[in-house]
Structure 1
């Protein structure tokens, strides 16, 4: 470590400690006999971590699906991070919140949570996140190209696992599956974390990394490992990226009226409407 910088050291130690804490909390879930209960519990653990660190403008909800105004719908996603400017679709049964859903324009990140990321679970997670709709209805400054590029990156697709295969095997599976499925850069996952083992991050359009420089092509993957701080670095990268994308809410005006219009035109067959002209109501207009 070049030069002792106590503030940065403490942040690194803090996030490394949180990575260890995630592992410890996940191990406690082995007491559940039902795999579904263990899976739900591990989603809640990561949800709690995100709630502790993301801005209040972000809502972290147990996932359902993501939809767009053209009628497209994703597979079920474990966790969704949504903007404060989007409509919410929360329901409560008794004292328990049910899984929710949201529109693509209002979803900042979509997260797949896995107990162990082996080849089968990796392929399932990649395929599921690839179903996320990409078309968005929104208004923004036509001269603000950077914001437009950031909007295109949402929802940010994350795969998080508490354990996984070794990095060599993982990178082979990742490469094989993306090539076999012929996924586009936009469909491929943006960040994959195997807690306290390694992380794999995709370079985004217009993003400069001091680690890999700006010569690598968009869509290139940086994979990192080999330090006791790797878990903390991965978690910091995840929350920092989501925080950065959450800033878009104040720069982009979401257009939900289009959803109402599309539903009226394409779903409801017995909708009736007539026009009462303003001239019949307001004599001076």
Structure 2
């Protein structure tokens, strides 16, 4: 019986992937690219809303900021814990932008209609701009061990279409060769729906050698199924871990009263 259920669940995600692809194609009816892009961002944001833990909030369009006042470039989707403050008075329906503290952010996504070199570099720069988080030394439950917090938030690039795998990986390698960037400010996963998924730091052996730290590994077999399970599992793990962290936003509010 278990096999029957998981066959159905697998089929469910494959059909969700087909629906996302179909919606991306339908969006091309719009006459200008900004409307097409917004519709595709909304489609992926809705996918995350319907599958992420209820403990998380999913925002379409916004900025992450650090306790020191540093601010990211615009991010297409932000996923935060439900205890994180948010500043979105100007957000009406799906318009306007949200400001969210980086401390308490579970994940972000950069969404592209087509992942070519220009759009890839734009995504890499936006992700690299995410501010540093505060140290958790005194704010985490003493009996809880969290080994990947330095890599929060989980960083996703999602596209409806894109260049070939080898070309994308070459552009990534070239970009980071010329723009040294900490590993925790590089995307964790790049998913071009229906085509391939690329992971950073995946536990895998390639030609008899274990993948190196920071290396990107590509997969084009069942890419949507693999991408969905990785994205949703990582967001769930981060949401669960956030229960053991006492995020403190006093400094943010204290800064407001300083002249």
Distance (Å, rounded) in 2 between the aligned partners of 1:93 and 1:112: 19
Distance (Å, rounded) in 1 between the aligned partners of 2:223 and 2:188: 17
Written as runs of structure 1 = structure 2, the 5 A alignment for 1:19-98 is 19-91=17-89, 98=96
Query: RMSD of aligned C-alpha atoms?
Result: 2.3
Distance (Å, rounded) in 2 between the aligned partners of 1:96 and 1:230: 29
Deviations 1:31-65 (A, max 9, x none): 21121111111111001111111111111111211
- Cα distance, 1:19 vs structure 2: 1.0
Distance (Å, rounded) in 2 between the aligned partners of 1:254 and 1:95: 28
Q: Please tell me whether the aligned partners of residues 72 and 126 of structure 2 are also in contact (alpha carbons under 8 angstroms).
A: yes
> What is the TM-score normalised by the length of structure 1?
0.82
Q: How many residues align?
A: 255
Distance (Å, rounded) in 1 between the aligned partners of 2:128 and 2:161: 22
Written as runs of structure 1 = structure 2, the 5 A alignment for 1:1-285 is 5-91=3-89, 98-136=96-134, 138=136, 139-142=139-142, 144=144, 146-147=145-146, 149-203=147-201, 209=203, 215-225=210-220, 227=221, 229-264=222-257, 268-269=258-259
- Cα distance, 1:220 vs structure 2: 2.7
- Cα distance, 1:112 vs structure 2: 0.3
1:163 alignment partner, SS class: coil
Structure 2: unaligned runs, 5 residues or longer: none
Distance (Å, rounded) in 2 between the aligned partners of 1:214 and 1:13: 33
Distance (Å, rounded) in 1 between the aligned partners of 2:6 and 2:54: 24
Q: Please tell me whether the aligned partners of residues 65 and 72 of structure 2 are also in contact (alpha carbons under 8 angstroms).
A: yes
In structure 2, the CA distance between the partners of 1:134 and 1:5, relative to structure 1 (3 Å rule), is same
Q: Which residue of 2 aligns with 1:279?
A: none
In structure 2, the CA distance between the partners of 1:263 and 1:188, relative to structure 1 (3 Å rule), is same
1:135 alignment partner, SS class: coil
Distance (Å, rounded) in 2 between the aligned partners of 1:87 and 1:179: 36
Structure 1: unaligned runs, 5 residues or longer: 270-285
Distance (Å, rounded) in 2 between the aligned partners of 1:132 and 1:93: 21
- Cα distance, 1:263 vs structure 2: 3.8
Q: From the CA coordinates, give the structure whose radius of gyration is larger.
A: 1
In structure 2, the CA distance between the partners of 1:219 and 1:136, relative to structure 1 (3 Å rule), is same
Segment of structure 1 superposing worse, 31-40 or 212-221:
212-221
